[in-house]
């Protein structure tokens, strides 16, 4: 099932991340809330993530390993001894996602 607001999406719409059905163990399930993930490219370093917004403040972001490695802020901070799981966010990526929402490339759709 897909969300009903596809007409407003102009960016490259992406499937929800993860092949959840194929998961071994079976206890983990997909979030039933309809998230309209879109691919967003960082304006600073070109790292690409999947982002979805239920509202202007709400944001969910799915990274992959390549994006984490490409991220300029993460790289800079890892070089001085930080671990990426303990970095709250990347400022440039947050700005890029906000800009995508503002100019309509990333739909803001409640589930």
Partner 1 sequence: MNERNGVRSIDAGAPPARFARGWHCLGLAAPFRDGEPHAVEAFGTKLVVFADADGELHVLDAYCRHMGGDLSRGTVRGSSIACPFHDWHWGPDGKCTKIPYSRRVPPTARTRAWLTLEQNQQLFVWSDPQGNLPAADVTIPRIEGAYSGEWSNWTWDSLTVDANCREVVDNVVDMAHFFYIHFAFPTYFRNVFEGHIASQYLKTRSRPDYEPDARKSDTPTTEIGLSSEAAYYGPSYMIDYLNYDYHGVPMDAVLINCHYPVTPERFVLQWGVIVKKLPGLSPEQADKVAAKFAKFVGLGFQQDVDIWTHKSRIDNPLLCADDGPVYQLRRWYEQFYLDVEEIPADMVARHEFEIDTSRAVEAWEAEVAANLARRSGVPAV
Footprint on this chain of partner 1 (rule: CB under 8 A): 17-20, 22-25, 27-33, 54-65, 67-68, 83-89, 110-111
Residue 97 near residue 51, CB atoms below 8 Å:
yes
Tokens of 67: 């994006």
Q: How far apart (Å, rounded) are the C-alpha atoms in residues 14 and 80?
A: 34
Q: Which of 65, 59, 67 is nearest to 38 (CA)?
A: 59
Residue 85 near residue 23, CB atoms below 8 Å:
no
Give min distance, CB of 28 to partner 1, in A.
4
């Amino acid at each position: 099932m897909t969300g009903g607001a596809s007409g407003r999406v102009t960016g490259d719409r992406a499937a929800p991340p993860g092949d959840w059905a194929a998961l071994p163990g079976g206890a983990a399930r997909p979030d039933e809330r309809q998230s309209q993930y879109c691919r967003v490219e960082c304006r600073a370093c070109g790292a690409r993530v999947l982002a979805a917004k239920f509202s202007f403040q709400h944001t969910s972001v799915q990274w992959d390993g390549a994006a984490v490695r490409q991220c300029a802020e993460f790289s800079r901070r890892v070089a001085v001894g930080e671990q990426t799981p303990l970095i709250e966010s990347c400022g440039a990526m947050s700005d890029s996602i906000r800009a995508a929402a503002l100019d309509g490339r990333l739909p803001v759709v409640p589930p």
